[in-house]
Amino acid sequence: MRVILTKKFFFGLPTGIFLQSNCGHNIYSPVFADEVWPVEIRHLQWQIIRDRRANGRLCVTWPSREIFESKYYEQVLSILTRGYCEIPGTGSSHDVA
């Protein structure tokens, strides 16, 4: 699911869900990708998100780190081998040739 990463949305997520920013240094390296921390310390994680300027931008939620890694890196491998793929969670395509 792609949504705007707001504080309200972030603090409403269940602990353990995997959150990936839809922006990054390049498609191989999102500026933020981590499991959501417990509510008691989530304010610290929110500060990391803000420091990396991922707040207010699109993000993608994944049920777990394992699913993120298998699907995301499958797509990255597709780019490397074919030069073209759908960017995970965006519904758009990217041509690297």
Long-range contacts at 28-33 (CB < 8 A, ≥ 24 apart): 28/76, 32/59, 33/68
How does pLDDT run along the chain (97 residues), one tens digit per residue? 789 999 999 999 999 999 999 888 766 688 999 999 999 999 999 999 999 999 999 999 999 999 988 887 777 777 677 655 455 555 555 444 4
Q: Where are the domains of the chain?
A: 2-95
pTM comes to 0.74
Backbone phi and psi for residue 25, each to the nearest 5 degrees, phi listed first: -70, -35
3 state DSSP class of 67: helix
Burial class (CB in 10 A: 0-12, 13-18, 19+), 50: middle
Separation of CA 71 from chain center: 12
